[in-house]
Amino acid sequence: MNSFLDKDEFKKLEKDYPFLSRAREILGDHPTELEEDNFTIIDIETTGLDPAQHEIIELAALKIGQKQVKEIFNTLVFPLNAIPPHITQINGISNEMVAGYPGIKSALSDFKKFIGTDVLIAHNTDFDINFIKHHCLLALGQQLSSPNICTLKLARFLLPNLINHKLSTIAHYLKIPIPNAHRAIGDCETTFQIWLKLLELMRKKDINSKADLKQLGLIC
C-alpha cells in the first residue's frame, strides 16, 4: 500500500483532498531525494564585503544527510592584515583570537578536503561562495566548482511575502532561535534549521530533487 503514496495519482488527489495527507503520517512516507542526500552547509566571517580587498577570518561547515548533522568543520583564520575594530564589533573576532590559527592557504586546503564533492548550501551564496572562490584561486591556485543552493533565493521563492529574506528574518518567521549570530558556526546551524523548514515547504510544492531545483534555477 505504501508505494501508492508515491504515485502521481495519489499526489493529484492529495491536492484536492488534504485529509489524504494523513495517510502519509499513518502509512509512512518515503524521504525525498533532498531529504536523503548529503549536503554541506557553509558560512564564513570576513574583514569586509569585497573579496578582492578583504580576508576570510573564519570558516565553518556542517555535513548533513538524512536531515541530520554528520560532521563539523570550524576554524578561525589568521589574516595577513589586522582585523579592523568595527569588524570585531560585528562578529566578536579579534586579532588576539586569531593568533596561532592557520593562514588562509592551510585553512582553505582543509576546508576543501572537508566539503569534498558535496553540493554546498549557504545563505546568500553570492557573498560566501564568491568570497571563497576568489581566495581559493588566490591562495591555492585552484577553482571551487561545487554546485550550490542558496537558502536566501530559495526562501524568496517559497516565502515571497516576507519583509526581507535576511537569515534573522527568516529564522524569526519560522520560529527558529538564533545562537551566536555573526559567527560562522552559529550561522551554519541557523541555516541548517532553516533548510529543514524549507524542505517541508518544498515537499508541499512537489520539489523533491536537485533536478527539480535546477529546473527552477535554484541550484547553480
The residues carrying an active-site annotation are 182
Query: CA–CA distance from 168 to each of 25, 136, 177, 212 (Å)?
Result: 31, 28, 9, 27
Give every CB contact of residue 175 below 8 A, 6+ residues apart in sequence.
none
Residue type present at position 123: H
Residue 88 CA from chain centroid, whole number: 24
User: For residue 150, what is its C-alpha cell?
Assistant: 542558496
Give every CB contact of residue 28 below 8 A, 6+ residues apart in sequence.
2, 5
